[in-house]
Amino acid sequence: MNFTKDALQKEVTYKTSRSGGKGGQNVNKVSSKVELLFDIAQSNLFDDEQKALLLTKLQGRLNRDGHLQVMSEEERSQYLNKERALEKLQFILTHALHKPKARKATKPSKAMIEARLAKKKMQSAKKANRKGGFDD
């Protein structure tokens, strides 16, 4: 992919707020929760085809303004949460742009078919042997 953390950093906006969780009294006075917003449509990092692909694949993650939203509040420091949110964004974009290889259809070989049928016959014979009459 042609985007790096530095390139992404220039195109994202951050919102910070107070985070819950561990941190004691620190959580009441420090805005460590980070919400990262990335506008795919206005980005200069992707061409039109890539933007269309990202918008369709990430449709469920977009907010009503059309921005990709990533949150991070695991760390106690705002800086570390910004780094973690940026890593998450990079991971999401990389996986959304990944095109899986097309599967080549193949036929099962004759030997494979015969082996499967032989196994079925053995299984059938095993179960047929169980049906024997029981003497009381």
Query: Residue 74's pLDDT is what?
Result: 81
Six-digit token string for 98: 């990944």
pLDDT at 23 over 80: no
Strand-pair category, 67-72 with 12-17 = unpaired
pLDDT, tens digit, 9 for 90 and up, residues 74-111 = 887 888 988 999 999 999 999 988 888 999 999 999 99
Which amino acid, residue 91?
F
Q: Considering the domain 5-97, what is its CATH architecture?
A: 2-Layer Sandwich (3.30)
* pTM value > 0.85: no
pLDDT at 46 over 70: yes
